[in-house]
Amino acid sequence: MAYFRRNRNSDDLNIWPGFVDALSTVVLVFTFVIVGFLASQIYLSKIILDKKSSVDNLQYKLSEVCSLFDSEKNKNKELNDINNDLKKQIIELNNVIAKLNSMFNEETKMANKEKSSLKDKIDKLNAQLKEVLAALADEHRASEENLKALAAIKDENIKLSELAKLNAYRSEFFEKLESIVKDKKGIKIVGDRFIFQSELFFDTGSDVLSEEGQDQVSALAKVIIDIGEKIPSNIRWILRVDGHTDSRKISGNGRFASNWELSAARAISVVKHLIENGVNPKHLVAAGFGEFQPITTGNTEEDLARNRRIEFKLDER
């Protein structure tokens, strides 16, 4: 018994360390498993938390999107309502436009009819207006012609009055001049002209006044001055001095190239002497007619002498 116990105790002592070792190993493995499990749990928990956070973010974003969608949906609904209202308004406007077009067409038809009628009336009125204007134009022309005629008659009356007065002074001029040159050979009164033969004033082919010619012109100047002081200032008068030659041609080798120049030079000489004796130059005119205004067409010496002359005429300007 004692031996058995020793053996049993001996066996017990040998098994136990192995058991302890095995148990320790099991505990270690279990601990390792537990630690691995915990680590994996922690890792998974972290992953889960991250995922959950992501999911939460996604849910938040989804919530925002849903909110926006709802908002857009509400706006879309409002827009649809507005669109429907606009469609109704467009339909109403189209109806109104159609009515207005119909009314416009009717008004246009009526206006065209009235326009046609008005055009006819306007055409008639224009025709009548043209007739009236033509009549007025005729009356205006007649009035203008009458006014012109009256003005011409008035001017003519004034001229005739002035001419009558001038004729009275001309008669006095002739009377006084005739009294100076009375019974003198080579001086004639023909109509309204005093005619002096050129030989009384100039030598043959000359434009220089002779002494006798100067005396005659000086006496003439006194008469002109005396008569001129009596003539009213409103009567425009002149004493015209005309030079004439006979038909015989000038050779052209002398001082004068033609009878034109000789006749004009003689008239100018007379005018200059009148001015030197006090006659106002504005009442004097000198003209040369050459041989182209003869008194007679004969070729005798007497005829030629008659055509060589100086004429004085008191005339209106």
Query: What six digits make up the tokens of 101?
Result: 């077009």
pLDDT tens digit sequence for 9-51 = 555 556 667 767 777 777 777 787 777 777 777 877 777 777 7
- d(C-alpha 176, C-alpha 182), whole Å: 10
Residue 140's pLDDT band (cuts 50, 70, 90): confident
Residue type, 221: A
- d(C-alpha 258, C-alpha 310), whole Å: 17
pLDDT tens digit sequence for 228-263 = 888 888 888 899 999 999 999 887 677 898 999 999
Residue 316's pLDDT band (cuts 50, 70, 90): confident
Q: List the 193-197 sheet strands across, edge first.
A: 187-190, 193-197, 309-316, 237-244, 284-288
Highest mean pLDDT among 43-47, 92-96, 135-139: 92-96
The dihedral over CA atoms of 78, 80, 83, 85, expressed in degrees to the nearest 10, equals -70
pLDDT for residue 310 is more than 80: yes
pLDDT tens digit sequence for 257-294 = 899 999 999 999 999 999 999 999 999 999 999 999 99
Helix boundaries (H) for the chain: 2-180, 211-230, 259-276, 301-307
What is the pLDDT averaged over residues 122-136? 79
Query: What six digits make up the tokens of 77?
Result: 């609904």
Question: What is the DSSP pairing of strand 193-197 with strand 187-190?
Answer: antiparallel
- d(C-alpha 69, C-alpha 73), whole Å: 6
Report yes or no on whether pTM surpasses 0.85: no
pLDDT for residue 73 is more than 60: yes
In the chain, the domains with their CATH numbers are 181-316 (3.30.1330.60)
Query: What six digits make up the tokens of 113?
Result: 């009819």
Q: Which residues are paired to 238 by β-bridges?
A: 315
pLDDT tens digit sequence for 159-180 = 555 555 556 666 776 677 666 6
pLDDT for residue 193 is more than 60: yes
What is the pLDDT averaged over residues 204-210? 92
Closest CA to 280 of 242, 317, 241, 239: 239
